[in-house]
Amino acid sequence: MKTRFLFPHKYRLIGWVLTIPSFVLMLLVMHADFSLSFLQYGGNSILGFDGEKFLFGIHRHNFTDEVGSLLLIAGLLMIAFSREKEEDERTVQLRLESLLWAVYVNSAWMMFSIIFFYDTLFANIMTYNICTPLILFIARFNFVMYKERRTLKNAGL
């Protein structure tokens, strides 16, 4: 069966290579105010931004977080949506089920956060939410695939 809109299997490795460093980078950016000097555009400002809200209006900005999050999302997409080595119709079903599960869990977590967390903590959770749906999906799908393989191994004994 043809599966559409998926990356070739080898992109999963590229995905991990992109994701791990950019995830670490984004953690440093978020929690340690880390920035890479070569991604600085214009002079340094004490505030870190000059009040402009749109790309073509800014005069100085450090693009570490932009580059980091773009690489992180690209990497996670490649891990999440690469074809399996043995891709068939059941893989498609398990993948879609996992995606549904991930969206439900992420939404439930968001609703919980909206009720219980405020201010910077909530802003941080929203920032993490850039990648949590994909991370939840990857975790769930790989767990399901692992269980499938283990069932087969046990049945073979």
Using CB under 8 A as the criterion, which residues of the chain lie in contact with another protein when the complex forms?
Answer: 1, 86, 88-91, 93, 148-149, 151-152, 155
Structure tokens at 136: 């939840």
Site of tokens 């080898």 = 10
Nearest approach, Cβ of 91 to another protein (angstroms)?
7
Identify which of 24, 17, 26 has the alpha carbon closest to the alpha carbon of residue 64: 26
Nearest approach, Cβ of 15 to another protein (angstroms)?
22
Distance in angstroms (rounded) separating the CA atoms of residues 74 and 128: 15
Q: Of the two residues 8 and 42, which places its CB atom closer to another protein in the complex?
A: 8
Q: Of the two residues 89 and 119, which places its CB atom closer to another protein in the complex?
A: 89
Q: Of the two residues 66 and 148, which places its CB atom closer to another protein in the complex?
A: 148
Q: Which amino acid is at 29?
A: V
Nearest approach, Cβ of 76 to another protein (angstroms)?
25
